[in-house]
Amino acid sequence: MSNDRQPSCKERVRAEYRREIATIRKLWEQYVANPEAHDDEYGNWTEHGLCFAYVPPGTDQKRGFFRYQISTGGPGDEFRFYCDERLQLTRVEYWFLDWFDGAKVVVNGAARKLCDEIWADWLECEVPQSAMKSAE
C-alpha cells in the first residue's frame, strides 16, 4: 500500500524559502546592475511576483502588512512586510501556503538585508504608499 500523504507546509517551508530568496537575490542583483537585465530562467525583477498589495488590519489578522505575492493556488507563496506608522520596516516573513495549510519563516540575516534594500527602493518609488491608498 502506498503512502499518498503530501508533505505539510511546515515540512516544506524552509526549502521553498531558500529557493525563493535565492531567485530574488539573483534577480535583484541583476536589476541593480542593469534594470533591463533578463535571466533566461526567471525573467527580470520587474516581472517577478504576481502583485504587491496592502492587507489592512482586521482582515483575518490584527496587524496590517504589505504582501509581495510570488505565486497563488496550491501551493502559493509570499513575503509579508510589516512596518510602523512611518513605513519603517519592522519584520519580514516568508509564507508558504497550500490548501488549508500554511507555514512561515521569519526573514533574518543576509536575506533580511536584501529585503531592507528592496523595501527602501519601493519606498523611494512610493509603492507601499500607493498600495495603502488602493486598499482604502
Domain for residue 35, yes or no? yes
Residue 101 to residue 8: CA distance in whole angstroms: 7
**Beta pairing, strands 76-83 & 65-71:** antiparallel
Residue 63 to residue 65: CA distance in whole angstroms: 7
Predicted local distance difference test score (pLDDT) of residue 75: 92
Query: How do residues 11-44 score in pLDDT, each as one tens digit?
Result: 999 999 999 999 999 999 999 999 999 999 999 9
CA angle 131, 109, 51 (to 5 degrees): 20
Query: How do residues 80-114 score in pLDDT, each as one tens digit?
Result: 999 999 999 999 999 999 988 999 999 999 999 99
Number of domains in the chain: 1
Domain for residue 1, yes or no? no
**Structural domain boundaries enclosing 129:** 9-135
Domain for residue 4, yes or no? no
Comparing C-alpha atoms, which of 71, 122, 126 is closest to residue 97? 71
